[in-house]
Structure 1
């Protein structure tokens, strides 16, 4: 048991650095308390959250979100209100009548669930972190001994959350710094559009073009700000679904060339469960011919090396035929790679890809 516990603690810290490990860790923890699965949820507000789960609960939780149960879920608020520095069972802070009659518990019981133990942690990014372990309803509430075991692991979970949060901020800063070296103003936004990290070039646009307000990033020109808000909403309402990209033209101003503001989702490994990074804002001057290198493009959109090279060549104005000849591949292969690039960046047209990466042309309405 001691050896198994040591391996479990090690896996918790490993998951802090490698987010893909969390589902396995949640599943292992759940089995050790006779549960059916675990869920990890981070939220800046009740309406805005990220999550992961053990594999066997994934489909149920997707349905939980899709069908609106998450929006009326009483668990997070009730758990936070207890202000308890440990795990607590839902049967300890809900009455028997609430458990029997609340519609969310009706949904959970329809899936064979209905009993859980959870805890809330805080990290510097401002997120509320919830670990929750579910148990089959027919097996009864989670045992007190199981809660004590989870409490013994809570300090490790808290330190892992802190570590993961700091790593997330470092990755966000690295993204903006890489774009600064290319001469591109950039910022990483939290959910709902609040600035998480920004480079110096982006900061020079304040307050003439952009305002960093406490609630969210805001553009000085109302018409542009409305488009920006629409882009935020388009990304936020498609958490499960295709990526959305928003390109907004900004007219020239006093001593300033026209620009295009690109708003894209932070995807893949760049957005783990603890990272506050949600969206990336890149500003490209219209008179700039430079295109980010293939490595940066690959990192931004989770492209394969081959896809990133195709994206860069297309953004530089090369045709599919020329790219195929230069690479020694067939046109069909290059077209398939380009199709994959458009899918991952959320774009529908080759011309939009050029505008996104180089800002060499205003996007079509």
Structure 2
């Protein structure tokens, strides 16, 4: 099975404020200009509320990865798969999501089961026999489509969203640079997916209906930090959020609030923090607070608000959280998530570095990044936090 390799530091950029804004140094280098960079990120968050925007998001991701086509799928136990795609695979896509056809596709079942925490080459996780007999792959090969990249994003209520990108058969496999580019987008895809899944990939119409449909504690704020609207579930989180003067808001946990206020002050430029862990306290389960920027049409839906704040609960457990959960909750890269998972399982930093096939120096660098992203300052605190970071269930909010 594939292993996670060391991250490679990107060269310094002149657009430092944009690099810090999204923590995406590599993506900024790969995009031709600032407008392209901000457009890709902005449209991802816009598509969370306006699903007809997903095809253009997919088109931009295909261009970044030198691919041919792309799709987003939403899988759940209580409804048939749904999603969006580029028009060049529309007939195949429509056939795939109709009826039970998708249940017989080894590739779809494998990705939903494994839930890879980064974009991976699908064929690396299938046997030659599975690839040959997979009904979807048979039809795709007949259409001249070959290599597949995929990532899966687990949603708190149990659904899974997958993003799939393909190349033509004659173009061979995706290059590593393409995988890296898509992985730079993944944290934003994950946050947008959280909302898109709760809306069932349907368009949000008004502030009230959108906040209600998400069925998660949520609030919308201006860039200056003023709360414009909340839903009932959010109002019940008075032990987590406290009002401030002039309509502001803070998190009761001091370390978490520091990250939260930093994200608000530096919005939309400068903040690398978009998902903030809040430790369990006084019977209140651990939470993750997600900040989603609102752009263009999405901003219109929320009456000019700039930021959507959504919380998801995580329940205490002695189990080690999967890399997919760590990546989705805390914006960790696949390499950082693997290291964090090993530390949570009781490995020493040296042993974890060896298992990750990285140097102890790189492991310390990763650990510093993890501390910065989670607001933790000690390894023991990190372990305690991550042991509470299991897959959140819808009933816990």
Same fold by TM-score greater than 0.5: no
TM range (shorter): 0.3 to 0.5
TM-score by length of 1: 0.44
TM-score by length of 2: 0.40
Q: Higher RCO, 1 or 2 (CA under 8 Å, sep at least 6)?
A: 2
Q: Rg: which structure is higher?
A: 1
